[in-house]
Copies of this chain bind each other. A is one copy, B any other.
Amino acid sequence: MAKEITSRSENYSQWYNDIVKKAGLADHSAVRGCMVIKPLGYAIWENMRDQLDKMFKDTGHVNAYFPLFIPKSFLSKEAKHVEGFAKECAVVTHHRLMNDPNGDGVVVDPSAKLEEELIVRPTSETIIWNTYKDWIQSYRDLPLLINQWANVVRWEMRTRPFLRTAEFLWQEGHTAHATKEEAEEEASLIHELYTRFLEDYAAIPILKGAKTPHERFAGAEETYTVEALMQDGKALQAGTSHFLGQNFAKAFEVKFATSDNKEEFVWATSWGVTTRMVGALVMTHSDDEGLIIPPKLAPNQVVIIPIPKPTPEILEVADKIKAELGAKGVRVKIDKDDKKRPGFKFAQHEMEGVPVRIGIGARDLAKNQIEIARRDTKEKSQIALDTVNDVVPKLLEEIQQNLFDKALKFREEHTTHVSTMDEFKSVLESKGGFVYAHWDGTTETEEKIKELTKATIRCIPLDFEAEEGTCILTGKPSKGKVVFAKAY
C-alpha cells in the first residue's frame, strides 16, 4: 500500500493528494470543485467540531441556524463585502424544472423564475444582521453570542480537497455587542480559542497576528489570523476572527437603546474555521507512509490486530483491553476482519494514521505480553499484558506532544529574519517558511512584493516588536518586521 504514495521530496502536492485518496479522507465528486468527505475525513472533522463546539459553549456562545440562501440585494448593502464575494457565488434563479418539450430529460421551467435571485451563502453576515435587526432593541438584548455550523459555497476556480473547495463545511460565529471594546475583546477571545484548539488538539503550532488592511475580510475593520506552516514551507491560514466595527449594523440599520437611553449602532464580530483544518492537519503531520493523526482528534486512537487471525482466545484479550481502555476514554478498534492478513492490516492502519497499534499473537500471549507500535516514530516494543492500561494513555499523550514538538521545531527551523530583498528571495527559494522582514506599510508595496516573489504578508505578528528599519523593497522607514510567506 505505502508504495502507492508519492514521497514528499519527490512531489509534495502529489503526496498530499495521494494521502487524501489512499487514506480515504475525501473523493472527487461529479460537481465541479465539490468534494465528497469520506467517513475517515468526516470523523476527524466531527472530532474537531465537537471540541470547538464545547469551547464555544464554555465561553457563553449558543448555536442557531440561518438560511442557506441570501437575497441578492442583501449582498450589496455592505460595499466591500459585495466586492469580496459577488465574483464567486452560486446563483439560484429558478425554482422548478419541467419535462423537456424537445425530448427526454428535464429543463429549467422558464415560468418559474425568481423575482429576486438567491445567492447560496458564501458567508452569512448579511442574512444574519438582517435578522439581528429584529432581535436587538435594547442593551438588555446584548451581547448576542451566536454560532452556526453550516455549509457555504464560494465558486473557486482552482480547488484542492479540504484546502480549497467550492462547497465547504465550517462554523461561523456572529456576535453583537454594545461597545467597541467588548467586540474587540470577543474577536481576541476567539483568536486565542482557535490557537488553543489548533495547538492543543490538532498539534499545529500557530503564529498569531493581524492581517494587513489589504488581506482583511471583506467588511472587517480588523482580521486576526491563525497561521500554520506546512512541511513544504508554505503557510496556511487556518482560521480568522474579525472585528467588524459597526459596518454591518450600519448596512442593516441595527441600533439599540443604551442604558442611558441613547440610540447607537451595534458593534460586531464574526469568525470561522473550516474543513480546511483537516487539510492542515494532514499536511502538518503525515509522512511518506501515509496519514498521521494527533491522538486527541483520531477517530480510532488504538487499533488491535490479532496475529495471525482473530481466534477466540485472542479476541477475549482484545475485548478486555478495549473495555478497560474504553473506560479510560481511549477509543479502541479491534480489527476482526478474517479475510485480510496482518501485514495488509498493518499497512492499512499505518496509511490511515491510527496513533497506536497493538498486535496480539498466540506466542506473545503465552508469555503474557503484546506488541505495541506507535505511528509517529514507528517504534515497536513488547510490553507486559498487565501494563497496557497504564502504557497506552501515556503513550497517546506522548505522541500528541511529540507531534506538536516536531512541528514546532520545523517551524523554528523555517523561520528567518532578513533585511534585504536578495536575502528575502533567497530564503523563499531555498527553504521557504515564515520570513520576517521590514515593510513600509503600504498596500502598493505589499502587492509588488507578491508579484515579484509570490509571497504575501501572512500577518503582523501579535508579538510585534518595535524595531526601526527600512522596507526590503522600497527602503522607506518601517517600525517593525511583519511575516511573509508563500501560502496555500
Contacts and interface: CB of A to CB of B under 8 A. Distances in A.
A66 B339 contact: no
A91 B94 CA distance: 5
Interface stretch (A29-37, A372-380, A462-470): A29-37
Query: Which of A68, A75, A94, A167 has its CB near the most chain B CB atoms (within 10 A)?
Result: A68
A65 B31 contact: no
A204 interface: no
Contact of A97 (B35, B45, B91, B96): B91
Interface in A26-48: 27, 29-31, 34-39, 42-43, 45-46
Interface residues of A, number: 65
Contact of A38 (B64, B73, B74, B91): B64
Interface string A430-449: 00000000000000000000
A43 to B, nearest CB: 7
Contacts of A169: 65
A86 B97 contact: yes
A36 B93 contact: no
A485 to B, nearest CB: 30
A76 B96 contact: no
A155 interface: yes
Interface stretch (A100-108, A223-231, A312-320, A357-365): A100-108
A218 interface: no
Query: Which of A75, A97, A108, A120 has its CB near the most chain B CB atoms (within 10 A)?
Result: A97
B90 A118 contact: yes
A151 interface: yes
A245 to B, nearest CB: 23
Nearest to A39: B62
B27 A134 contact: yes
A89 to B, nearest CB: 6
Contacts of A117: 108
A249 to B, nearest CB: 17
Contact of A167 (B68, B70, B108): B68
Contact of A106 (B31, B62, B75, B151): B75
A140 interface: yes
A87 B97 contact: yes
A89 B93 contact: no
Nearest to A100: B76
A268 interface: no
Nearest to A76: B105
A39 B146 contact: yes
A91 B89 contact: no
Contact of A69 (B70, B146, B167): B167
Interface in A1-45: 27, 29-31, 34-39, 42-43, 45
A95 B91 contact: yes
Nearest to A140: B339
Contacts of A63: 39, 42-43, 46
A67 B35 CA distance: 7
A101 to B, nearest CB: 14
Contacts of A86: 96-98, 106
A92 B92 contact: yes
Contacts of A95: 88-91, 155
A315 to B, nearest CB: 18
A418 interface: no
Given A27-B135, A69-B90, A93-B93, 10 more contacts: A30-B67, A35-B67, A36-B64, A37-B65, A39-B62, A42-B62, A42-B63, A72-B105, A75-B97, A76-B106
28 contacts: A27-B134, A30-B74, A30-B131, A34-B68, A36-B67, A36-B131, A39-B63, A42-B62, A42-B64, A42-B65, A43-B63, A67-B167, A68-B151, A68-B153, A72-B105, A75-B106, A88-B95, A89-B95, A89-B96, A90-B95, A91-B95, A91-B108, A92-B92, A92-B120, A96-B155, A97-B119, A150-B151, A151-B151
